[in-house]
Amino acid sequence: MRGANPVRLGLGRLVSLATSLRSQHAAILSNMFSLYLQAFEHYQPLGKRVLHVLTTLPAEVQQDFLSDTRFTVSLDNFVPGEGSTVFMAVPGGTGVGSRSVVLRPRLSECDEAFAHYVIAHEFAHAYLRNGPWGDISDVENAADALAAAWGFAQPANPPWVGR
């Protein structure tokens, strides 16, 4: 293949090669994020939704998460009448606290675009360390704005409107 002329390869071969490379890239990303996906093994399509958002994030965000042992993603195990148990790092000084993202199983059942938005919003909080983003000082607005910048804007008609 070295030095091969793209015209001589043919369009079909180029498409096949591109598809193969995309498939390999997806497998590598899935493997990189496997630690974060374990909690969702029995909660599909939530696991796939989490993987979709993680693999869509900019490389610098992915690297930030992968290089920080405080970053975790877990499943909320809420039981009505009993509460829930979530283990996370003890908060410390500025920028030293936990970076845990806890997602509810209900994100498997809701609209996919809404689930992606919520997941990205929570990842934005973790990336921003629950702080501001640029000129946006409100942490909720900052997480919304960053999630939107990543391609996961809040849906026009979120499920909680009108309830």
What is residue 33's predicted lDDT score, i.e. its pLDDT? 80
Residue keyed to tokens 């996370």: 88
What is residue 37's predicted lDDT score, i.e. its pLDDT? 87
Question: Does residue 145 carry a pLDDT above 80?
Answer: yes
Average pLDDT over residues 82-99: 62
Q: State the helix-helix crossing angle for 112-128 and 46-56, rounded to 10 degrees.
A: 50
Contact between residue 76 and residue 107 where contact means Cβ atoms under 8 Å apart: no
**Quick one: pLDDT band at residue 162, thresholds 50, 70, 90?**
very low
User: Percent of the chain scored above 90 by pLDDT?
Assistant: 45
Residue bearing the bigger pLDDT, 132 or 89? 132
How far is 128 from 159, CA to CA, in rounded Å? Answer: 25
Average pLDDT over residues 70-94: 71
Would you call 47 helix, strand, or coil by DSSP? Answer: helix
Token code pair at residue 32: 């990189």
Mean pLDDT of the residues in the chain:
81
How far is 148 from 144, CA to CA, in rounded Å? Answer: 6
List pLDDT tens digits, range 1-57. 556 555 565 666 656 656 665 555 556 656 678 888 888 888 999 999 999 999 999
Average pLDDT over residues 113-139: 96
List pLDDT tens digits, range 92-120. 555 556 688 999 999 999 999 999 999 99
Question: Does residue 163 carry a pLDDT above 50?
Answer: no
Closest CA to 155 of 109, 119, 122, 116: 116
Q: How far from each other are the two terminal CA atoms of the chain, in whole angstroms?
A: 60
